[in-house]
Chains A and B, each alone.
Chain A
Amino acid sequence: MSRPSTHASNTASGSLWMYIVGFVISIALTVGALWLVLARQFSTGTLLTVILLLAILQIGVQMFFFMHITDSPRPQFNLWILGLGMFFTFVVIAGSVWIMSFGAQGY
């Protein structure tokens, strides 16, 4: 029988460090973004760009450390779901910017 187990068994303890490192980096990226806003060192445009970069970095960190994106073998639907996630993220961000600028950008 190919699937005797009904639920995921405990993963190898080697990945424990991955989780801790990933967690610390995530926290650092989040606190960093907050700090940048509170410190007001940059102009608004630069600030937005930097925060956006930090957010993208955060996605990468979570994918790598928590979602095991590099684990193989990778079933095909993983790619599909990942693509869908990227699409939805794009829609939310680009859509919100478009909506909340109230026509300022001209159509």
Chain B
Amino acid sequence: MSTFLPHFPATFIVTGDPLIYGAEVSIVLATVGILFVLTYFKKWRWLWREWLTTVDHKKISVMYLIAALLMFFRGGVDAMLMRTQLIRPNMSFLQAEHYNQIFTTHGTIMILFMAMPFIFAMFNIAVPLQIGARDVAFPYLNAVSFWLFFFAALLFNLSFVVGGSPDAGWVSYPPLAGLEFDRGPGENFYLLSLQITGIGSIATGINFMATILKMRAPGMTLMRMPLFSWSVLASSILIIFAFPALTVALALLLIDRLAGAHFFTMFQGGNPMMYINLFWIWGHPEVYIVILPAFGIFSEVVSTFSGKRIFGYSSMVASLMTISVISYVLWVHHFFTMGAGPGVNSFFAVATMCVGIPTGVKVFNWLFTMYRGRIRLTVPMLWAIAFIPIFAIGGATGVMLAAAPADYQYHNSFFLIAHFHQVLIGGTVFGMLAGMYYWWPKMFGYMLNERLGRWAFWLFNSGFYVTFFPQYLLGLMGMTRRMYTYPANMGWNTLNFISTMGAYVMGIGFIVLVMDVVYSIRFGERDVTGDPWNGRTLEWSLPSPAPHYNFARIPTVTSRDAWWTSKQERSRSDAPRKLEPLQPIHMPKSSGRPFIMSAIFFIGGFGLVFNWYALGFLALLGVLVSMLLRSLEYDTDYYVPVEEIEQTEAALGRA
């Protein structure tokens, strides 16, 4: 029965590296500090009632945003460490093993714990407000999604100090990630935390698909829906159909590792290549899951700050939908070199090149929207404009990579690294930062400072070019990815030095961004109108931040850009608008169960990481009990009485 008793591996608490000691000390200090502040200012109740138990999409959005920025910081520090190690040949700043861990956590965190929560922050703040809904379709499930993500991120980051970080790359291919080559618990941390956050993501996909299809305000037909909401629909469809493949791949690898099965081992009939296939069935759609919402944000931002309707709305919708279907049949381009044969490779190469067409349509539409528009160069608009050239180049190098025979040269070189950072940073990160600046007043009731925002933008944007353009050349000169150091006589020294300098500039840009946030919390200009940008869509018709029920009266939509139209109508006639009488509003109740259930998930995940099956099964039981309790719960909602709505609206200065 020894496997059922907790057995502590020798390296339970990671030791031996000054960086890690530093992290351990700062984690302890930060935790003590947070506990002290909460207790001293008597904030525990507030924290529990207002945040940990909330099912309000606007608060969930705020929590996603904070988490995404924190994870952006952690992933960014990883990046700085890697670039520092590569600044000169034969550096010994990081050891090989440590370098492996860092590129693994960097990639995993940036995709799953930075990009995903960042897009979910944007989903949550904008979609219900844009389509005239009072919350998402399943508010309770929304909270479950958030807390699953949160505890999964905690579990993943814990591996840094407890047990050791994963080190088989963010793709975690067996056999390297299998038991034969990787005994440590790090890989289990990877598998379990991704599994947990994946459940949350699938639930979010379902939630937003249902919200968009079922909860639009009267009159808002699909073809009147703002483009951001369309992009969320496209992204949600991909989430629903792609994430299960990841779930399966991770589960089978976990069974291999924990139970000694042979799905992906080299012997006993296993086939590691099947993991690669399954991983990318999720992995390629995943990059579109995070880019499509960015496309949506650019559409909103470009049209708002050009003072024009978006050019070619229907073609924008059509290309979003086409991309989400095509991007599902491209996955082999990540492993052309596996050698599935010319038939397979040609098919997927051609399909990959096809995805450039709808993307091109979108780029032209943004350009035509700006053409002859009255452009206001606000910070969101700067990010949107800067995105276009970067993405054009990223797409072009993508098409180069998609030429299967040529990819045998480019594959896993720094050329590939440069390509995907170009599209992920220039696309997703720029998009999310544009969205953050754009919707910040709606989330918090004040604006971010434009001056600091411009500084952050210019540093980050120019640092970006300096970092990644040399990497294309390095790739062509033969430098492969994931090498922890290189000899001095390869001719790579200068380019690597330049690239590292660029990375530092981007790092400074990020610091300025954080300064902007901190500065604006204190000095940010209040948004008293609720419509600081002269916006076009319904979220700007509400006060900032919106009351918890969003709309006192659900609006009736008669056109695209609904808020713009109603502003025009109002300026044309001075006849007082007649308002329908208020009615009680049906709202969901807060619940602590999503938090508790996800915490139990965390405990169970932690147990399985160390093969403590008893703890794992106990936690599974806990999860089942929580779900059962929820199923038997009937007191889940209430009505906001009319007087309370009147008071709230009056306090917000609305009739």
Residues from 271 to 306 in B contacting A, C-beta threshold 8 Å:
271, 273-274, 277-278, 281
Question: Judging by beta carbons under 8 Å apart, are B245 and A5 in contact?
Answer: no
Check B588–A6 contact: CB distance below 8 A.
Answer: yes
> Are A95 and B139 touching (Cβ within 8 A)?
no
CB of B273 within 8 A of CB of A100, answer yes
Which chain A residues in 1-25 approach chain B with CB under 8 Å?
Answer: 1-10
User: A2-B218, A6-B139, A85-B241 are contacts. A99–B340 as well, Cβ < 8 Å?
Assistant: yes
Is the pair A99, B332 in contact by a Cβ cutoff of 8 Å?
yes
List, in ascending order, chain B residues with CB within 8 A of A6's CB. Answer: 133-135, 139, 215, 585-588
Looking at B341-349, B391-399, B496-504, B505-513, the stretch in contact with chain A turns out to be: B341-349
Contacts of A92 in B (CB 8 A): 245, 281
With A7-B135, A88-B328 as given contacts, are A99 and B237 in contact (CB-CB < 8 Å)?
no
Query: Which chain A residues border B9 with CB–CB below 8 Å?
Result: none
Bound Cα distance A95, B329 (Å):
8
Count B interface residues, CB 8 Å.
40
Asked if B137 CB lies within 8 Å of chain A CBs, one says yes
Question: Are B241 and A88 closer than 8 Å at their CB atoms?
Answer: yes
Q: In the complex, which of the residues A9, A10, A96 contacts B277, with contact meaning CB atoms closer than 8 Å?
A: A96
Bound Cα distance from A102 to B339, whole angstroms:
7
Interface size on A, residues (CB 8 A): 27
| B325 sits at the interface (CB 8 A) | yes
CA distance A3 to B132 in the complex (A): 11
B637 adjacent to chain A (CB < 8 Å): yes
Q: Which residues of B contact A107 (CB under 8 A)?
A: 341-343
Of the residues A7, A85, A98, contact of B588 by C-beta under 8 Å: A7
Contact of B215 with A3 in the complex, beta carbons under 8 Å: yes
Q: Which residues of chain B (184-213) have a CB below 8 Å from chain A? A: 213
Contact B241 A7 (CB under 8 A): no
> B585 to chain A: which residues have CB within 8 Å?
4, 6
Looking at A2, A91, A95, the one whose CB has the most chain B CB atoms below 10 A away is A95
> A88 to chain B: closest CB distance in Å?
5
Q: Which of A2, A5, A7 has the most CB of B within 10 A?
A: A7
For residue A31, give the distance in angstroms from its CB to the closest CB of chain B.
16
Complexed CA–CA distance, A19 and B586 (Å): 27
Contact B340 A102 (CB under 8 A): yes
Contact, CB under 8 Å: B344 / A98: yes
> Is B583 in contact with chain A by the CB < 8 A criterion?
yes
A10 CB to closest chain B CB (Å) equals: 6
Measured CA separation A1–B215 after assembly (Å): 13
Please provide the 5 A-B residue pairs with the shortest distance between their CB atoms, ordered closest to farther: A103-B341, A107-B343, A6-B134, A88-B241, A99-B340
A-B contact pairs, 8 of them (CB 8 A): A1-B554, A6-B585, A81-B237, A84-B241, A91-B329, A95-B329, A96-B277, A99-B340
Q: A6-B585, A99-B277 are in contact. List 15 more A-B contacts (CB 8 A).
A: A4-B585, A4-B586, A7-B135, A10-B636, A81-B237, A84-B241, A85-B241, A91-B328, A95-B329, A98-B343, A99-B344, A100-B274, A102-B339, A103-B341, A103-B343
